[in-house]
Amino acid sequence: MSYSQRVISMDGTNAMDMQSLHSEDTRADPGCSNLNARRIRAFMEIDNAQYSRFHWKVALIAGIGFFTDAYNLFAIGIASVMLGYVYGGEVLITPNSSSCHHNSIKDTNHELAKNLDLSLKIAAPLGTFFGPVFFGWLADMMGRKRMYGIELMIIVIGSFGQAVSSGGQGINIFAVLIVWRVIMGFGIGGDYPSSAVIASEFAPRAFRGRLMTAVFASQGFGQLCATVVAIVVTAAYKDSLRQNNNTNFEPLTVMWRILIGLGCVPGTIALFFRLTIPETPRFTMDIERNIDQAIQDIDKFLKTGTFKIDPDARIERVNAPRASFRDFKAYFSDRENFRVLFGCSYCWFVLDVAFYGLGLNSPVLLGDLFSVEGKPAYDQLINIAKGNIILVCAGLLPGFALCFLFIDRWGRKRLQYIGFAGSTVLFIIMGKPFSRSLKPFSSDRSQVLGEAFPTRYRSTAHGIAASAGKLGAILAQLAFTKLKDRGGKNKAISHILEVYALFTLTGCAATWLIQETKDLSLEELSNEDQDNFIKGRHSDHSLRYTYESNGHAL
């Protein structure tokens, strides 16, 4: 049996279809050695692969990035409470103050000024707003692998910079913190398209949804880990905090630095593996136009021994669609392509309005439930951390678990409908003060983005939608901070949550715009003709591939 017959039979398709494609391609260009047929067969090798150690490695490496992202983004919620004890009060208006102590604080609630708290919380989403489009475009131009280590380095440096921040003559410590958080957010934004696209382009069709969900689920564990670290750090300084009876907050100056600084540890560990991960064969073949190398890479990471390449064969020219502004405009001018991009972008916008609106303000939302206001620092921090664990474990992690179990059975759209509808109901319930321990289910907002669109624009499109999501996060935080005290302290929170419910309800409508990607290959989802995607000429020798069985070429 020939290799083409073997691969086609794995997919249940008649082998004569590939032979027909071979003949048609050759007749269309006598000098062309059916490179397009070989491209299709090579991608089918990925799509029909069995689960292997390599796929587990991809999920782990990409997942660590999302874990680090979520840890760093949401640790600031508890860290801002610690900072409020140390730096809260009137002293904040003095720009030259490099530090302050409890005896100079006049604010008995030990809270940061409203605008300062807002600046800290939107700094990272602001950087994340710009990062996805920039790094997404670079990943489509220069390669997924090349960008994959750079953005993680930025995240690690930004996290470490926050932990060692200090003020000085003419500069406030919060100005330094905000700058570092913007830098960190820029790197986090770059991680969104890179991790999602790498996971999707390596994943087999049968369990692509589960593999990508495993990557995205790391966000939930990152948020949970930030809370657990906060509990451990607070417990470690329990005696120091209680001995001084809310009169000395020097231990908190160390605690918030530990909490934020530990965010660079998982990223540092993952950096080596990201720098050594191979380039995706789809980028190598469709963007770099190096078919030989792409096939070698497929053979290497799948470890099937399928391909043997004639070393004397040489490709002189391969023609394939090239990324350009004109081509980008033409592709997304197509109504169907634009509809998918708009639908995904709006869904991400809506979900981040809710996700960040709750995640960054969990200490405020948990105030009624755990009565943290006015309590000693230790009790307040512990209660907030416990409440965060409830938020994550009650909604976020179960949502990811549901998605993982059923995404390849029910499909992406059905689960997204369920996610938005469930979130709408929960937000309505959360409008009642006694129900704020709930949290909306997670949705597969970026699942389709990593699967749709052609290889040359897949990362860029993902970056556009991710930036739309971060715009939602910024607007949600601005609205929450400015409106929550209308009518009295925290009196308007219930109404804000009801507005969130309206947003998530519109997410259900926007889900109708996106396409179902279950059981389809990335090439089928690109909405482009794949039958004559690439062509090429060879000289000296014809390109020859053989399938080996028991050491003999067939």
pLDDT score recorded for residue 551? 38
Which range among 265-269, 275-279, 369-373 shows the weakest confidence by mean pLDDT? 369-373
DSSP 280: P
Mean per-residue pLDDT for 74-97?
Answer: 70
457 pLDDT above the threshold of 60: yes
pLDDT score recorded for residue 100? 44
pLDDT score recorded for residue 319? 64
Q: What percent of the chain clears pLDDT 90, i.e. is strictly above it?
A: 31
Domain membership of residue 448 (yes or no) is yes
pLDDT score recorded for residue 433? 54
Domain membership of residue 435 (yes or no) is yes
pLDDT score recorded for residue 365? 73
Q: Is 520 helix (H, G, I), strand (E, B) or coil?
A: coil
Q: Give the predicted TM-score (pTM) of the model.
A: 0.82
437 pLDDT above the threshold of 60: no
Question: Do 3 and 77 share a domain, yes or no?
Answer: no
pLDDT band at 239 (very low <50, low <70, confident <90, very high): confident
Domain membership of residue 464 (yes or no) is yes
pLDDT band at 434 (very low <50, low <70, confident <90, very high): very low
Question: Do 62 and 27 share a domain, yes or no?
Answer: no
Mean per-residue pLDDT for 265-287?
Answer: 88
**Average pLDDT of every residue of the chain:** 78
Question: Do 155 and 60 share a domain, yes or no?
Answer: yes
Mean per-residue pLDDT for 181-194?
Answer: 94
The DSSP element (H or E) to which 537 belongs, if any, is strand 535-539
Mean per-residue pLDDT for 333-339?
Answer: 92
What tens digit of pLDDT does each residue of 103-124 get?
Answer: 333 344 677 888 888 899 899 9
Question: Do 453 and 511 share a domain, yes or no?
Answer: yes
Mean per-residue pLDDT for 188-215?
Answer: 92
Question: Do 431 and 343 share a domain, yes or no?
Answer: yes
Question: Do 122 and 9 share a domain, yes or no?
Answer: no
Question: Do 351 and 468 share a domain, yes or no?
Answer: yes
Question: Do 460 and 369 share a domain, yes or no?
Answer: yes
Q: Is 451 helix (H, G, I), strand (E, B) or coil?
A: coil
Q: What is the CATH number of the domain that holds 194?
A: 1.20.1250.20
pLDDT band at 321 (very low <50, low <70, confident <90, very high): confident
376 pLDDT above the threshold of 50: yes
The CA-based angle 19-11-209, given to 5 degrees, is 135
pLDDT band at 452 (very low <50, low <70, confident <90, very high): confident
Question: Do 85 and 130 share a domain, yes or no?
Answer: yes
The answer to whether 446 touches 466, Cβ cutoff 8 Å, is yes
Instruction: Report the domain count for the chain.
Output: 2
Max avg pLDDT among 147-151, 181-185, 349-353:
181-185
Domain membership of residue 163 (yes or no) is yes
DSSP 277: S
Q: Is 244 helix (H, G, I), strand (E, B) or coil?
A: coil
pLDDT score recorded for residue 109? 61
Domain membership of residue 546 (yes or no) is no
Domain membership of residue 304 (yes or no) is no
pLDDT band at 445 (very low <50, low <70, confident <90, very high): low
Mean per-residue pLDDT for 488-502?
Answer: 83
Question: Do 6 and 72 share a domain, yes or no?
Answer: no
Q: Which residue has the higher pLDDT, 367 or 286?
A: 286
460 pLDDT above the threshold of 60: yes
Owning domain of residue 465: 53-279+326-523
Domain membership of residue 46 (yes or no) is no
141 pLDDT above the threshold of 80: yes
Question: Do 121 and 20 share a domain, yes or no?
Answer: no
279 pLDDT above the threshold of 80: yes
Helices (H), 143-207: 144-163, 173-202
Which range among 4-18, 375-389, 522-536 shows the weakest confidence by mean pLDDT? 4-18
What tens digit of pLDDT does each residue of 525-549 get?
Answer: 887 765 556 655 443 333 333 333 3
Domain membership of residue 475 (yes or no) is yes
Question: Do 85 and 157 share a domain, yes or no?
Answer: yes
**Residues 6+ away with beta carbon under 8 Å from 353:** 472, 473, 475, 476, 500, 503
Q: CA-to-CA distance for 273 and 131, rounded, in angstroms? A: 22
Mean per-residue pLDDT for 28-32?
Answer: 42
pLDDT score recorded for residue 318? 57
pLDDT score recorded for residue 25? 40
